[in-house]
Structure 1
Amino acid sequence: MSRGRRRSGETERTGFLLARHGGIANARLRQALGLAGLSPRHGMTLTRLAETGSMTQQSLLDILGVDASVLVTLLNELEDEGLVQRRRDPTDRRRHIVEITPAGSAALDKVDAAVDQVERDLFTALSTEQVDQLHELLTRVRTSVNDPACTED
């Protein structure tokens, strides 16, 4: 039987099921992060900067896998809120170095708490091993944040 085909006893195709759960997870994350004045992409950007430390804007672009104009908008918003800082690279004035600020680290604590709560609510019926397995499987699904259908902010 081909992938995604309904098997005996299944009432929904995998793609429909994933779309429904993804939509619900997205809405819950947006709501939870919105209370901190952030979007999921803001949260992802702060998380990456906290994990890797200071980096060039190009490196951050490569890691996040977003369009350059999207990254500039994100960084402008985060910089306006004092959550990240951009400065010229002293060794190459054409490049910008991006780093999380102390206020950004404090905001990241709110991001982590919000995401933790959403994940607890979503995965309450799953064991830790099942959540880890789901994560592993989802990382192998072929999608991209640059897909025109992606409305992730």
Structure 2
Amino acid sequence: MATHDLYQRPGFLLRRAHQISASIFERACTDLALTPAQYGVLRVMQDHPGIDQSSLARALAFDKVTVLRVIKGLEDRGFCQRAVSPDNRRQMAVRLTPEGAELLRQAQKPVRQAYETLLSPFDDAQREQFLGLLLLLNTQLNTEARASFVPMASGSDPA
């Protein structure tokens, strides 16, 4: 296989698109020192206060080690807190602190900016088609993933 062929493969293009997406997000949120993974964790905690760590991992398709690492970093910065779940003493429940809620409020504009920058190469119809195709790919091949994904209903507008 020629290198050019490699560059046309879906896996390569998806990985590169993820790199670009993460870079755009991190640049937009640099003043907040916020990563895409941290933002996702905070958003789920905001919509589901007291969620257990396992459910949080599934809601973002993270493995348990990754979600624990992200939570620990946010907890160290004072943006969330963990406590034994009142429903199951073997699980830890997580929730935003007021500082975490303020961080999310401050992140609204840069997150929206990152979203717009990422989709800026597309016109409105292309955006809809692109997002629809990504959703179709993720839905149809979900069972192929290493980490479980169990989407949760959201009480907030997507950013």
**Which bracket does the TM-score occupy, shorter chain normalised?**
0.7 to 0.9
Give per-residue Cα distances to partners, 1:102-148, cap 9 Å, x unaligned: 211111123332221122223335344542332221123247475xx
Contact 1:53 / 1:99 at 8 angstroms: preserved in 2? yes
- Structural RMSD (CA): 2.6
Match of 1:73 among 47, 69, 74: 69
Q: Once structures 1 and 2 are overlaid, which stretch shifts more, 66-75 or 23-32?
A: 23-32
Instruction: Indicate the residue corresponding to 2:49 in structure 1.
Output: 53
Match of 1:88 among 74, 78, 84: 84
Q: TM-score scaled to structure 2, two decimals?
A: 0.70
Instruction: Give the 3 Å change call, closer, same or farther, for CA 132–105 of structure 1 in structure 2.
Output: farther
CA distance in 1, matches of 2:146, 2:24: 19
Structure 1: 4+ residue segments shifted above 3 A: 16-22, 124-130, 142-146
**Aligned to 2:91, what secondary structure does the other structure show?**
strand
Separation in structure 2 between the aligned mates of residue 108 and residue 93 of structure 1, nearest angstrom: 29
Taking structure 1 as the reference length, what is the TM-score of the superposition? 0.72
Q: Percent identity?
A: 26
SS of the equivalent of 1:126 reads coil
C-alpha separation in 1, matches of 2:108 and 2:128: 18
Aligned partners of 2:16 and 2:85: how far apart in 1? 44
Structure 2 gaps, min length 5: 148-159
Q: Who is 1:117 aligned against?
A: 113
Contact 1:33–1:40 (8 Å) recurs in 2: no
Conserved? CA contact 2:24–2:118, under 8 Å: no
- The whole-number CA distance in structure 2 between the counterparts of 1:93 and 1:17 is 43
Q: How does 1:102-141 map to 2 (within 5 A)?
A: 102-141=98-137
- Which structure shows the bigger proportion of residues in helix conformation? 2
Pairs aligned (count)? 136
Partner of 1:13: 8
Kindly name which structure, 1 or 2, has the bigger radius of gyration based on alpha carbons. Answer: 1
